[in-house]
Amino acid sequence: MIANWHIRQNQKIAPTTINKTMNKRIAILLLSLATLSAVSCKKWVDPAPTTDPRLNNPYCNDPEAVNYNWGFPGKPDNSLCFFPSDIFNGTYSFVDSVYQASTGFFILTQTQTINVVKRSQNKLEVFGLCGTGSLFITAHSNFIATIDTTVGDTTIFNRGQLLCRTQDTASGTISYSRIDSLLHISITVVSDTGITTHTGKAKKI
């Protein structure tokens, strides 16, 4: 029996057995490749859509407004709009320092109560600078208002608006500061007695 066992061990493996083994391995490999291919070729499914939360944010959509397009993108809501004249509208205590324009010589300081009245989205009228008279100003979206020119023409050097007397012509600006929330006023008055500048700040009261 032992001799026969050694003989069988020394015998060569038949080619048919090798072929069967190779075929089995190839079949297993092909099956694995087919499985991987089926998984990798799975049909793409689009993910669920998402909504940008900013699209629900209301914003002013009026190009004439100071806050035009602030908060865009979102939903237009013009009830949020505010306009240049809204910035200046109100009653103020104005500390006015007067100087001689040519020399810078200080003349006086006076405190006045002024009323800035809204007339339209960008037009205002200022009362209190001179008796019962008023100044018309135009406000802009950059937080600056300019005194309207109502007298003079291109041939006159000093153009502006009459103030106090027919001999007084005023020009200048009123700006709103987002730093101190005050009006910064600078007015030049040309009169028959000389040129003076009025500068100072006005606090809402």
Q: Is the pTM of this model over 0.75?
A: no
Q: For the segment 105-139, what is each residue's pLDDT rounded down to a tens digit?
A: 999 999 999 999 999 999 999 999 987 789 999 99
Structural domains in the chain, sorted by start: 51-82 (no CATH), 84-204 (2.40.128.20)
Of residues 163 and 131, which shows the higher confidence score? 163
pLDDT value at position 33? Answer: 62
Residue 58: cis peptide before it, omega within 30 degrees of 0: no
pLDDT value at position 28? Answer: 74
pLDDT at 25 > cutoff 90: no
pLDDT at 156 > cutoff 60: no
Of residues 158 and 162, which shows the higher confidence score? 162
Q: Average pLDDT of 161-184?
A: 93
pLDDT value at position 77? Answer: 95
pLDDT at 3 > cutoff 60: no
**What's the mean pLDDT when you consider all of the chain?**
84
Q: Average pLDDT of 136-162?
A: 83
pLDDT confidence bin for 52, thresholds 50/70/90? low
Of residues 21 and 39, which shows the higher confidence score? 21
pLDDT value at position 127? Answer: 96
pLDDT value at position 2? Answer: 47
pLDDT confidence bin for 26, thresholds 50/70/90? confident
43-47, 71-75, 102-106, 135-139: range with lowest mean pLDDT: 43-47
pLDDT value at position 16? Answer: 61
pLDDT confidence bin for 151, thresholds 50/70/90? confident
